[in-house]
Amino acid sequence: MLKKLLLTTILILTFIPALALAESDNNPTVQITSYKKLYTGQILAFGSGSGTLISSNGLIISNNHVIYNDDEQKPLDVFEICITFDVEKEPTCQYTARLVAHSKDLDVSILKLNSKDVFGQTVPNLKYLNYQTNAAPKEEDEVQVIGYPGSGGESITITKGQISGYDTYNEFTYYKTDTDFDFGSSGGTVLDANGNYIGIPTYIRSYAENVGYFLDLREALQWIKENISKSPVFDKTAEDCLIFELARLKNANDTLKHTYADYPKLSVEIPDGWRFWSIENDGIYIEEEKLTNPAGLGIYLNFYQYKIDEGYLDKLDEELSKVKEMNPDYKKEEIEFNGYNAFKITYSYYNSKRHSIYIPYGYAFVGINYSINLNEEEGQTEGIEKVLKTIKFDSNIDTNPNLSDTISFDEPGFSITMPENWRIQTNKSNTPMSLIAEVVQENNYDGYIYIYYDQIPKGDRELSNKDRADEDTKYIGGGSKLIFKKDDVVLDGLEGYLFTYEYEGDDFQEMHKKLTIKLTDEDYEFTINYDDLSDNFDENLPNIELILNSFVFTGREIERKGEYDFGSLNYNFSDIQYHRYVSDITDLADKGIIEGYSDGTFKPEKLVNRAEALKIILASKNHMEEEKGLGNDVDFSEYDTDDSPFWDVKKGNWFNPYIQYAYQNEIVSGYGNSTFGPERTVNLVEALKMVFGVYKIPLWQGETNPWYKLYMDKGYELGLVGRGMENPGHELTRAELADLVNDVYNDATNSYSYY
């Protein structure tokens, strides 16, 4: 559930007569919290606002933006309704509603209150307002705005002001008012001086002062009449989850106790005058019910997949050492906590003392955090200690909490399996909301695999995988080094891209590697991240490949189902790490355009000869033709003939077909003695001439002096002449040729043609 604000008492900005609300069992203005259903089966509070009851059967008018997920361009999934029965008390939050209709243009929505509350009890008859009064707002009229603004505490807030003008938006009339309201008032109630329901608070603008706008209700009347009788839509899974969470919180506050049903079955009791403010699957927040300096306490559960051991605790110590460095009075001590082995951290923070108690309990690690205000140390400590004494676990420490090496989802439809000594579990927290699964390796406390599923940003959906990969890796630098990138990844038919980079961790010279894979599922995408120490990363690559090959997509039908192609996940060759052109080398190697040596090296600084350079350039063009399906790729074996014009190029030489093809297509020529010089090193201008000929890049047809200026000028124009290669006679290394060819290939792929 949404974490509640610390302010607990009612704040009514302006006390005024309730007009149409007098002598009522309930206030028709309700509070709405809208929830998003996560793929893990949990829900997350995503938006909030107000609404107005307009019928005896629980129809509610609100804004569209209160119930709408603008990122995903669709309504949210389930709605909590809080009803005020006493304006001097907080509303009762044990009701749910379903969506009937919504309009983005009007920014209006209709919800329908469910007939049963979260305990299965029938909702009582509720007072409502007449939305068809046709009362006409006018400038200088006095109005009341009723709602649940974020600045108004936990209770209903009623404010008074007057209409100061009007404006139009989407051709609908909105009245300006100096009445105080903020985002939480959205969708609430505007009454005129006679108690008529005349408008819906919708938005504010902040200039020198806030100006609030409300929609003239008459603008929405026809739309309401047309849609009010529609059947509500709802997501049963989300609704059941919300009902469970609301009942759980209400029961805990009624009984002053909560016990988790699942391992490690943590339980806690609170004294009178305290309250459970939130109960989530991975934690609880408890606080005193008083306005000033309330004592509060958070309990957080980290569900691990192997038993908490010394290695885990040593890693935690490393993290805590950073806190120690910043706090001179930092103190750590081993303690016994209610019969459990634990340790406690304390340090000062401004006018308070922070306390953290950590309890390793089997497969769970529990943290308890609280701060004591030094001005109220005695009173706050007494309350905190009462709560601490009640915390216990009702599950056996050695109980195996249903650990698994395989995980399956129906939505999104996929499964993935771990190799030996790896485990995977569904994310037990509702944040981050896109995280659906997390993986750990036994005895590895530095590495993790996280699997996310989220909507692709709207502006990126039309981009190619290459463009998205380029964008994601554009700013890798400043201590980080991109070491591999592939933009045509396939896992069980889903297409995407990946990249790996190395970076320095928090500890000096502690190098990490991180792999990111993104797989497109229409407007959504899977993201798989593996982050680890560099040595662990290299050692685990066979396991990571097994994991990727186990990915099974069970969603929509796809053409390439069953295909897997993720190439290398690390440096292709042992001798290119940190080389200036490592990305270019790995890009071309993964496409099969360049190769290394049998000993696993690339020899990036070795000079490249004319025959090898020509083959690499031709192979890159062939790959581009195949990739784009243009049908212009060449079968070079057809050119392995014995009619070479060069006496040093013969049939059977590995380079013969490439040189024959290039000669016949006027890409290359030989020397005056009828030789080609396949073993001679290639210089920059020779390589440029080959590239321009192979890719049919048009050149100026005039004469230049010297002759090679024509090719150098074009090289500069296309950004192909790199730093340190300004001399046309510069002999190219294998790495420099890779940079040149990869740049040409990428530019040709982006523009689809140089000609």
pLDDT in tens, 426-439: 999 988 999 999 99
Q: In the predicted model, is pLDDT for residue 23 greater than 80?
A: no
Q: In the predicted model, is pLDDT for residue 21 greater than 60?
A: no
Q: What percent of the chain has pLDDT over 70?
A: 94
Predicted pLDDT at 722: 75
Q: In the predicted model, is pLDDT for residue 15 greater than 90?
A: no
Predicted pLDDT at 339: 94
Q: In the predicted model, is pLDDT for residue 203 greater than 80?
A: no
Span 13-33, average pLDDT: 59
Span 125-131, average pLDDT: 94
Is 340 exposed, middle or buried (CB count within 10 Å of its CB: 0-12, 13-18, 19+)? middle
Predicted pLDDT at 355: 96
Q: In the predicted model, is pLDDT for residue 371 greater than 90?
A: yes
Helices 656-664 + 610-628 axis angle, to 10: 70
- φ, ψ of residue 715 in degrees (nearest 5): -60, -40
* Ordered structural domains, the chain, with CATH: 19-237 (2.40.10.120), 256-393 (3.40.1000.10), 406-565 (3.40.1000.10), 588-751 (no CATH)
Cα distance between residue 214 and residue 187, in whole Å: 9
Cα distance between residue 92 and residue 85, in whole Å: 8
Span 277-285, average pLDDT: 95
Pick from 113, 173, 88, 98: nearest CA to 137: 173
Over residues 547-587, the pLDDT tens digits come to 999 999 999 999 999 999 998 888 878 888 778 888 889 88
Residue 508: band (very low, low, confident or very high) from pLDDT cuts 50, 70, 90: low
Q: What share of the chain is helix, strand, coil (3-state, %, to 5)?
A: 25, 35, 45
DSSP string, 337-396: ETTEEEEEEEEEETTEEEEEEEEEETTEEEEEEEEEEGGGHHHHHHHHHHHHTT-EE-S-
Span 649-678, average pLDDT: 93
Over residues 292-304, the pLDDT tens digits come to 889 999 999 999 9
Under 8 Å between Cβ of 554 and 415:
yes
Three-state SS annotation for 280-322: ECCEEEEEECCCCCCCEEEEEEEECCCCCCHHHHHHHHHHHHH
Computed over every residue of the chain, the mean pLDDT equals: 89
Over residues 670-705, the pLDDT tens digits come to 898 899 999 999 999 999 999 999 999 999 998 889
Type of residue numbered 327: N
DSSP letter for 172, please: E
Question: Who's near 654: CB < 8 A, 6+ residues apart?
Answer: none
Pick from 542, 513, 545: nearest CA to 530: 513
Under 8 Å between Cβ of 544 and 422:
no
Predicted pLDDT at 177: 85
Type of residue numbered 640: D
Q: In the predicted model, is pLDDT for residue 130 greater than 90?
A: yes
Cα distance between residue 37 and residue 249, in whole Å: 19
Residue 6: band (very low, low, confident or very high) from pLDDT cuts 50, 70, 90: very low
The DSSP element (H or E) to which 174 belongs, if any, is strand 172-177
Cα distance between residue 166 and residue 168, in whole Å: 7
The backbone region for 272, taken as left when phi is positive above 0, alpha when psi lies in -120 to 50, beta otherwise, is beta
Predicted pLDDT at 153: 63
Under 8 Å between Cβ of 23 and 45:
no
Is 238 exposed, middle or buried (CB count within 10 Å of its CB: 0-12, 13-18, 19+)? buried
Span 203-212, average pLDDT: 61
| H runs (alpha helix) in 475-597 | 534-549, 582-590
Token pair for residue 157?
């807030």
The DSSP element (H or E) to which 497 belongs, if any, is strand 494-504
Maximum Cα interatomic distance, the chain, rounded to a whole number of Å: 111
Strands 210-216 and 172-177: antiparallel
Cα distance between residue 183 and residue 658, in whole Å: 69
The dihedral of CA 150, 151, 153, 158: what is its sign?
Answer: negative
Count Cα atoms within 13 angstroms, Cβ side, for 352: 14
Cα distance between residue 93 and residue 106, in whole Å: 28
Predicted pLDDT at 751: 57
- φ, ψ of residue 573 in degrees (nearest 5): -130, 150
Q: In the predicted model, is pLDDT for residue 425 greater than 90?
A: yes
Residue 447: band (very low, low, confident or very high) from pLDDT cuts 50, 70, 90: very high
Q: What percent of the chain has pLDDT over 90?
A: 68
DSSP string, 514-539: EEEEEEEETTEEEEEEEEEEHHHHHH
Q: In the predicted model, is pLDDT for residue 625 greater than 90?
A: no
Candidate from 17-31, 266-280, 548-562, 657-671 with smallest mean pLDDT = 17-31
